[in-house]
Amino acid sequence: MKIDSLFQPLEASSSVVDFEFDGQTLQAPDGANLAAALLAAGVVTFRYTPVSGAPRAAFCMMGACFDCLVDIEGVHRQACMCQVHAGMVVRQIKPESDDE
């Protein structure tokens, strides 16, 4: 699902931490907005919908639309409302794993 990121950073970050998305190790500045970090890393699909299995990603970036939901240690959270920390384990939400 990864491509060269569409989103380019304006400035290089001085210190980054490792975190995990769906088994892949990604890097982002410590405390970075998780949705932004995923987009910057070239992640295209954050989750698949429970209704039709359609792919979705961040849409509003302000905690209103819930399209950026990801699984963080078993809880579905809005990626745009979370901060990256070292060792964080994030998973894509897939229809079969959805229990909402």
Interaction site with other proteins (CB under 8 A): 1, 6-11, 32-33, 36-37, 39-40, 44-46, 49, 51-52, 54-67, 69, 75, 81, 83, 100
Report the residue number, 20 or 55, with the smaller CB distance to other proteins.
Answer: 55
Contact between 71 and 3 (Cβ < 8 Å)? no
Minimum distance from CB of 93 to other proteins (Å)? 11
Minimum distance from CB of 28 to other proteins (Å)? 9
Closest C-alpha to 26, from 88, 83, 92:
88
Q: What's the rounded Cα separation, in Å, for the pair 12 and 8?
A: 10
